[in-house]
Structures are given as C-alpha cells and as structure tokens.
Structure 1
Amino acid sequence: FGLHPLSQVLDRTNPLTQIVHGRKLSYLGPGGLTGRTASFRIRDIHPSHYGRICPIDTSEGINVGLIGSLAIHAKIGVQEEQVAPARYRQEFLTIAWERVHLRSIFPFQYFSIGASLIPFIEHNDANRALMSSNMQRQAVPLSRFEKCIVGTGLERQVALDSGVPAIAEHEGKIIYTDIDKIILSGNGDTLRIPLVRYQRSNKNTCMHQKIQLRRGKCIKKGQVLADGAATVGGELALGKNVLVAYMPWEGYNFEDAVLISERPERITNEIPHLEAHLLRNLDKNGIVMLGSWVETGDILVGKLTPQMAKESSYAPEDRLLRAVLGIQVSTSKETFIDVRWIQKKGGSYYNPERICVYILQKREIKVGDKVAERHGNKGIISKILPRQDMPYLQDGRPVDMVFNPLGVPSRMNVGQIFECSLGLAGGLLDRHYRIAPFDERYEQEASRKLVFSELYEASKQTANPWVFEPEYLGKSKIFDGRTGDPFEQPVIIGKPYILKLIHQVDDKIHGRSSGHYALVTQQPLRGRAKQGGQRVGEMEVWALEGARQEVLGTTIIGGTIPKPEDAPESFRLLIRELRSLALELNHFLVSEKNFQITRKEA
C-alpha cells in the first residue's frame, strides 16, 4: 500500500492541512494522465464541477487542473444509493439520483475548504485565490495565535472536523485535569481523555493540546475541552491580526518585501534573575499596587524587553564553537520533549546502542522568513526596525508591518483592502465579522457599504475622526517615526490576518566552500541536499563579459589594461541615430602620447 504512487503520508503542518489533504482528487497515477501530456481541455473548469469540485483550489505548476479538491459539501458516493434529497420549487423531495442535475444549498458549496476560508473572495483575482488556498496549508502553528477579526464563519467547523481539539463525547463533569489527560464523570461511568503533549509532526511543527476548562466544570456533549495547535476556543487560528500600513519605506518593501517592527515590550511581574522580595509590590499585571510603600531603587513597573544576542552573552564554549566552526548557537528557548533509547539486539563494540534526544525549539521571526495573507499576497521579511522608527498613527500607535502598495492594483486584490479596513474597525470596536461570499446578491456594493459603515461607527465610538475621513475613505495621515513629520500622502491602515509560512530561512540558508562536482561539466552540483553551489553557466559568462571582466582579471595578475583605440559601438550607434535627425555630429579621441586631437569620422 505504501509503495503505490497515489499513497501519500498525511501532511500534518497545521489542522487545515490534515483535513484538506484527504479531500484531494487526482488525474495522475497508474492508468491516468501525466502533467506533460494532459491537454487544456482536461485541465479547464467544466459546468459539471459545480458543487462537486472546487474551481479554484488546484496545484500550481505543471499539474494545474490535474489535482483538484472536493467542494465543501461534496462526498464520494456509490451508485447503490438510489435516492438523494433535493429541493424543487421550494419543496424538499427525495428522488432518484439520476434525475438530480443541480443542487444549490449553501453560498460556499462550490468552494473547497481552503478557498472557503478566504473572506471577500469574490473581489479577488482567481489566480491569487488559488495561491491563498495553497499557502494556508503551509502556515505553521504559532506560540501565541489569535482568532481572525474578519473570517467566513467556517473556522470552527474546520477545526472540529480536523480532530485537533479535544471534544467531549458526552455530557458530564470534569473531576480531574492534568497536563496529559482529562477525566470526565457522567452517566454513571468515568471517561479518560488523553491529551497530545508536545508531539512532533512529520513537518517538524509542534502538536500540543492545552486545557481550556477547570476542574469541577459541567460540560455538554460536543464542547471543546482542550485546544490543539492553531486553534483558539475551538476555532481555527493560523496567524495573528497585525496593524499594517500600505506605503513604500526606503525601498525595503520593494518587490513584495515586508518591513516589520521588533517585538513589543511586555509588562509582567515575572522578571528573571530577580529575587522575590524585589517584586513584592507588583500586582499580577506587573504594575505597582496602590498604597504600597516604596523606597529608592524599588521596581515600579516590571517590563521585559527582548534583547538581541550579543557576542558577550554567549558562554565561553559557545563562543569557541562560533569562532572555530561558525556554528550559530541559538538563544531561543529550547525544551526537551522526547528521549528514545534504541537498543539493538546483539549489541557489540561495532554496533553500539543509540540514544535520540528530541528538542523543541521556539523560532522567532527573522529576516528571510516568509509571511502571507489569505488573499495570495506573500512576501519575505527584509528588515526588522525598532518600534520607535516605524511609522505611527495619529493616536501614537506604531504599525507592526509595512506592505508595498504596488502589490495590490496589478494583482486585482480588492478583497485584501476590504479585509484590511474592516479589521481595523473590528479591532477598535472589539468585534469579529463573518463574511459570506457573494454578498452583492443581497444588495449592490454590499461589501463596500459594510466596511465604510463599520469604519464610520468606529470613528464615532472611539472619538478618532482620522479612522473615517470623507476626503480619502479608508486612508489616514500617518507620521514618520524617525523625524515625527507627516508623510505627504494618506495611506491605507488596517488589521489583516497574517500567516507565517513554513518556508523559514533557518531551513534554507546554505553555503559551500568546496564539494562535489559534476563528472561531465566539472561544475558544482545543484541543491542544498547535495552540498551544491551555484555554477557559472552560459548566461553568467555573458554577465561577466558585459561587466568588463577582462579588466578585473588583468588588474589581479598585474598586467596592463588595454586602452580602447576607438569609441565603443554603442556610442557610434547613438551618433548615427542623431544623424538621422539631421544633426551633423562627429566625435574626437585625445591621444595620450602627444595630446593631439585626431578627427575620426563616425
């Protein structure tokens, strides 16, 4: 079974990936097609796909249209099911399945699970929606995730169907909780529910369940007992709601690059490396309690600021490893999660026992990591700025990310702007929105009216007129964090939902000093797995020739640089083009020997 071409290991990157991977459809495999021989007619969308196969969710590249996904309400049936429920003239009937040609039951019914999680999908280009449904499956579970402010309403159902949260199978009362189990009492018996604790997935992400209810709580059947990775309160939560500005910033967000700020300071009463009596006056929020007697040197506010690791902060053995081997010693928190003792039969000196220790590492976002939204707009982190240097709003809040505005109009992603502005209103009003697709069938321009009405209400309730300014709807004047001066043009401010993807720079960075070469061409091998490098191919030689490489080589070996005897051909071409405009032009070369001017006819 495992050797069959259509047999795949379940992808467990996040809860969405687990449920989507089992609903894929393929033309490939034994007796099927190949990516190179399939025609456009086979790959194209057919009317019979309505409600059965998603017209958006497919692979990118050579297999586009050949690997599809089941629509959200579709299931694989057999012909023995002779009857099927259907609606005809506003009445529900049970008729023979051959007579049913079309069933319209739900606004999401023609989309797959991944595509149905994109808000305002009807305002996006289909190519970008395809990218988004693929990239949501690449999102890594975060250590501190949030529910999306703007969603579609299917986040809870997707999380429950994925099996990641722990669900109560019957009603009862919690009589015991632990880090690895929950014990329920109900209907005269006791039920033990084991919890997943720091398990490693096949994509090296962490699967962990956290208890949501306390001991003694009465629960109902189907209630969420423990959240899993990337779920909050039983809802899918793949990312974070981030304050974003769409504006260019010193070229650091050129070509889809993303500018982000450092992690904010955290107010807490858990300060490391301090004795308990120094924190006696702080409340649970880390702020000094009213009425406390304080003296000189006492701590009034407990504040943790993340520090960048300096060379002096490493232990001596770590500095030695960095100096000799160039090994980067991580400063992130690491935890032992599993130890396995592999004992072989008939162990000897040449066949020793082996102990495998698995370590959980907490990776912070850094330059080179890939982030994306739910509308197909993806980018690489190009620079991490201090919060005081980021652009800030009129209420003093600095933005967390700066996106390039040129990535929106050419890609026709209007839904991206709708989500951004509606997220800002929801963040100010403390609301969550669930947007069904194709809401224009109820009212013309319903999406735009909803966004503007929520922004107007947010500006009134928070007494911030800059949230909704009639001169430039959805935009606001913001200020440069370095100088304090306002920017010339108003920019779009919002709170979209940002995902961190599994394409991380720690897994991709690679260097080579020497290694294996190809037998035929004697050039370095290709790829990180083979310790390969970048070869000097045909086009690279052209680049070296165009960059006057012979001048550099002559300089290195100490030779004389050849002097040009005449003007370059590109200059002669310019002279001829100007002569075609009836301009009489000649050029002159100055000889270095006698400084005599020699007239050359072009």
Structure 2
Amino acid sequence: MNRRLNLDIPQNNTFLLPRDILAAADHLIGMKFGMGTLDDMNHLKNKRIRSVADLLQDQFGLALARLENMVRGTICGAIRHKLIPTPQNLVTSTPLTTTYESFFGLHPLSQVLDRTNPLTQIVHGRKLSYLGPGGLTGRTASFRIRDIHPSHYGRICPIDTSEGINVGLIGSLSIHARIGHWGSIESPFYEISERSKRVQMLYLSPSRDEYYMVATGNSLALNRGIQEEQVVPARYRQEFLTIAWEQVHLRSIFPFQYFSIGASLIPFIEHNDANRALMSSNMQRQAVPLSQSEKCIVGTGLERQVALDSGVPAIAEHEGKIVYTDTDKIIFSGNGDTLSIPLVMYERSNKNTCMHQKPRVPRGKCIKKGQILADGAATVGGELALGKNVLVAYMPWEGYNSEDAVLLSERLVYGDIYTSFHIRKYEIQTHVTSHRPRKNH
C-alpha cells in the first residue's frame, strides 16, 4: 500500500489509518483527470498462490467447527439425561478423519500422482491452476485471463499449459521460480553494479522487478568493441524495449529461466513454433519407460538434474564401498555403518507402467556421496532417457507416406526398439454362500 499510494507508514502498522483513505481518494480523483493508472487484475502482484498447506488449513478449521458442534450436542444430551460425559465421549477423531477423507477423495484439485515417467512425476507437482473452489471454470474464463502477461516471465511458463478448454488456466512453474512467504511467485536475477565486482543474486516478487531494467542473460560476456552487443533487449514496467547496457539494473541468470521443466527439455526450442513446443512439452509426459532405455544424443543439459530431482534413481547418501549387489538390493559400507538399499522390482505405477530399478555399480567398487547406484525407469546413467535415437528421413517413399502417414522400419518392431512393459492389476473377490461359491469381478 505504501508503494501504491506513495506513503511512508511503518510496516508494523496493520490498521487502516485516515491517511490511507485520503491517499486512496486522492488517487481516484487524480485518475478521473487522467493522472495515474488502474491496477491490472491479471498482474501477478495482484495474485497469490494458495498452497496445499492453505487448503489443508481451511479443512482443519472446518473439522474443528464440526467437532465443536459435536461436543456441544454431546454436552446438551448429557445434561438432559443427567449424565457426566467422559473426555473419550466428548472429543473423537471422527470429524477430522471424515473431513480429510472427503477432501483428498472428492476435492477437484486432489489428484493421484501421475507416474508415467520421471518427468511426469516432477512436472505434476509444479502445476498452477485457476480452477477449483473459489476459482474460475473453463467455460466462463475469458481470453484475457488465459493470455500471457509480462509479469509471467521467469515465473510461469508461457508455453507449458494444458490443451483444450483449460488452455491458459493450468500452467506450470518456471524452472527457477519459487513461492515466496506471502504466496507470491519470485524469480531470481543477477544484480549489475559497477561499484561491486561480486555477482549478487536476488529473488524478486512481481511487484518489485517492474521498477528495474531487466535484461536477458543469453550472452556470456559483453564485447564493448562491437556496437551491436552494447544494446540489449530488456523489460521495464511490462514493456519490452531495447536499451544500452549501462542502463541495465538486473539480468536473468539462465536462458531457460522463463520456461518450465518440460519445455526446457526441448532442444532448440527457440527455432520451434510455439504451438509445436506446447504439444511437445505435453507429449514428453506421455512417453512410457522402454525395456531398453537410451540416452538422447541431442539434449539441453538438464536431463541429469530432472532425473535426480524426480527421485527415481538410487543415490548414495555418503561415501562407502559396495559390499553386495543384487537385483533387489544393494549393500554398501561407509562411515562405520552398513546400509542396505532396497531396489524397486517391477512395481506397477498409477498409469500401469513398469517401475524398475537396475543396479549400476559392481561389487567392491568405492563410491562417493551423490553417485548413482541404480537407474530407475526411463533413466540411463542418472540422466532422463525418454524414447530412442532413430534416423528420420523427411522424404517421399513411393507414395506410402502421403499426407500425414509415417513409414516405419521393420527393425523397430523385430528389434524391440520401442517395446515397453505394462503391469495391470485385476482383482476377483470370492464369497462363500450357503448355496454355492460366488465370485465378483
């Protein structure tokens, strides 16, 4: 409020003062005569993230209110019948359990973790949604809300969103963005200062970075001998402009800073069409783990970090030596302790894909902290491995690939290049009745 109305009220004052009302009225009168601007409702500084903890806090308050009504009813019934209620009869866990069970089972935003591949696991937890109770709907949301806003850069990916009726309403956090203390999305920047040679990184909220000249961090160094490199593109007050390097206050820390994890795994994304990049980021999450995974030849360099953050590979927690290795466990000793790490053996995921870990360290090998012990599904050497490296020819072949047809080599079939395992679970219940056994599928 101080920044918006140009006031200097102390931060510890949480009450509305007459100065606030007068300053707000003065600002509205000035806008009547063309002085000042209205707040942009689509700006991220006017929005906050409701985390899972906030939703659970609301459910906890609802459960306490139900518990209060139950306790009052029990006390009134005991007084009516002239009984002395015990603490066990007064306070029960039924309101808490029923409230949280209904929340996790019936809430529109409560979803089962998608475990199709390691990328899907980490991307699913970084989704942002306008939908849900108190939010918007896919049929009533306008195009202005779905559109990209300048304040999204470095915070919400401009590419990675859902397709169909919810386009623009379900987004994804950018790769370096974080959630601030008050629910705002913060993005990191490098501060450019002539007085200090030390590089300082700052996390700024959407309400702060619009007062700085923010340049892109694509170039490694500035060549002052070339005049073209002394002028850089920048962002200032929701506008994109070109300024001299001396006028820049902040610069981004990474070229992929503006994209999500899914979009940052697309090679040469700057040469792709935006619609195709959107489809590619969504299709990567549909890739099933293959029986024989393979590293990608052309990548972006983030495959290893994505695999590590997904938690699929088994990683050594400290230095040691491998004592025993098998398909179901790895035993290594270090720091005077012997640790046994169980491996995942043909486990079924929520999407019926096969989750399996393969040991990558031989017996007797000395390992360091953070080293890969076992690869998981769709990882090779601790790197994300989706799909295969195949030779693709863009050419006609006797008319068989006309229009959108694709011609495949028989080696892809007979060589099990794209063979994958799927595990399905079927349950049959058998009941013994008085007449004869009966089974339900």
CA 201–85 in structure 1, closer or farther in 2 if over 3 Å, else same: closer
2: CA distance, partners of 1:306 / 1:89: 55
2: CA distance, partners of 1:88 / 1:52: 18
SS in 2 for 1:242: coil
1: CA distance, partners of 2:427 / 2:171: 43
| Match in the other structure for 1:158 | 306
The answer (yes or no) to whether the contact 1:347–1:353 under 8 Å persists in 2 is no
**Of 107, 116, 121, which residue of structure 2 is paired with 1:4?**
107
| Match in the other structure for 1:296 | none
Per-residue CA deviations over 1:242-298 (Å, capped at 9, x if unaligned) read: 112111112222232211111289xxxxxxxxxxxxxxxxxxxxxxxxxxxxxxxxx
| Match in the other structure for 1:262 | 410
SS in 2 for 1:132: helix
Is 1:203–2:351 an aligned residue pair?
Answer: yes
**Of 383, 391, 401, which residue of structure 2 is paired with 1:243?**
391
| Match in the other structure for 1:592 | none
| Match in the other structure for 2:334 | 186
The answer (yes or no) to whether the contact 1:165–1:225 under 8 Å persists in 2 is yes
1: CA distance, partners of 2:393 / 2:386: 21
2: CA distance, partners of 1:121 / 1:218: 40
**Of 120, 130, 133, which residue of structure 1 is paired with 2:278?**
130
SS in 1 for 2:106: coil
**Of 130, 135, 156, which residue of structure 2 is paired with 1:27?**
130
Q: How does 1:464-543 map to 2 (within 5 A)?
A: none
| Match in the other structure for 2:369 | 221
Size of the alignment, in residue pairs? 290
**Of 163, 166, 169, which residue of structure 2 is paired with 1:63?**
166
Is 1:230–2:378 an aligned residue pair?
Answer: yes
What is the letter of the counterpart of residue 300 of structure 2? T
The answer (yes or no) to whether the contact 1:224–1:234 under 8 Å persists in 2 is yes
| Match in the other structure for 1:578 | none
Per-residue CA deviations over 1:537-594 (Å, capped at 9, x if unaligned) read: xxxxxxxxxxxxxxxxxxxxxxxxxxxxxxxxxxxxxxxxxxxxxxxxxxxxxxxxxx
**Of 265, 282, 295, which residue of structure 2 is paired with 1:117?**
265
What is the letter of the counterpart of residue 200 of structure 2? F
The answer (yes or no) to whether the contact 1:86–1:100 under 8 Å persists in 2 is no
Alpha-carbon RMSD: 3.2
The answer (yes or no) to whether the contact 2:431–2:439 under 8 Å persists in 1 is no
| Match in the other structure for 1:89 | 192
The answer (yes or no) to whether the contact 2:138–2:169 under 8 Å persists in 1 is yes
Aligned-residue offset at 1:234: 0.4
CA 241–183 in structure 1, closer or farther in 2 if over 3 Å, else same: same
| Match in the other structure for 2:176 | 73
CA 140–338 in structure 1, closer or farther in 2 if over 3 Å, else same: closer
SS in 1 for 2:159: coil
1: CA distance, partners of 2:420 / 2:268: 39
| Match in the other structure for 1:513 | none
Aligned-residue offset at 1:204: 1.6
Is 1:50–2:156 an aligned residue pair?
Answer: no
What is the letter of the counterpart of residue 65 of structure 1? G
CA 104–260 in structure 1, closer or farther in 2 if over 3 Å, else same: same
CA 124–93 in structure 1, closer or farther in 2 if over 3 Å, else same: closer
CA 232–70 in structure 1, closer or farther in 2 if over 3 Å, else same: same
| Match in the other structure for 2:23 | none
Greater C-alpha Rg: 1
CA 339–179 in structure 1, closer or farther in 2 if over 3 Å, else same: farther
2: CA distance, partners of 1:115 / 1:306: 31
Aligned-residue offset at 1:338: 9.8
User: Unaligned 5+ residue runs, structure 2?
Assistant: 1-103, 194-198, 215-250
What is the letter of the counterpart of residue 242 of structure 1? V
SS in 1 for 2:403: helix
1: CA distance, partners of 2:187 / 2:392: 48
Aligned-residue offset at 1:94: 6.1
Is 1:17–2:165 an aligned residue pair?
Answer: no
CA 345–187 in structure 1, closer or farther in 2 if over 3 Å, else same: farther
What is the letter of the counterpart of residue 241 of structure 1? N
CA 16–86 in structure 1, closer or farther in 2 if over 3 Å, else same: closer
Aligned-residue offset at 1:144: 1.6
1: CA distance, partners of 2:254 / 2:398: 47
CA 346–192 in structure 1, closer or farther in 2 if over 3 Å, else same: farther
SS in 2 for 1:216: coil
Aligned-residue offset at 1:342: 7.4
1: CA distance, partners of 2:330 / 2:377: 18
Q: How does 1:450-465 map to 2 (within 5 A)?
A: none
2: CA distance, partners of 1:346 / 1:190: 49
The answer (yes or no) to whether the contact 1:213–1:225 under 8 Å persists in 2 is yes
| Match in the other structure for 2:227 | none
Aligned-residue offset at 1:75: 2.0
1: CA distance, partners of 2:146 / 2:407: 38
Aligned-residue offset at 1:62: 1.1
Aligned-residue offset at 1:99: 3.9
CA 56–350 in structure 1, closer or farther in 2 if over 3 Å, else same: farther
| Match in the other structure for 1:175 | 323
Per-residue CA deviations over 1:44-66 (Å, capped at 9, x if unaligned) read: 00011011000000111111111
2: CA distance, partners of 1:264 / 1:130: 27
CA 338–197 in structure 1, closer or farther in 2 if over 3 Å, else same: farther
Aligned-residue offset at 1:353: 7.5
TM-score in terms of structure 2 length = 0.60
The answer (yes or no) to whether the contact 2:345–2:356 under 8 Å persists in 1 is yes
TM-score in terms of structure 1 length = 0.44
CA 349–256 in structure 1, closer or farther in 2 if over 3 Å, else same: farther
The answer (yes or no) to whether the contact 1:72–1:112 under 8 Å persists in 2 is yes
The answer (yes or no) to whether the contact 1:198–1:206 under 8 Å persists in 2 is yes
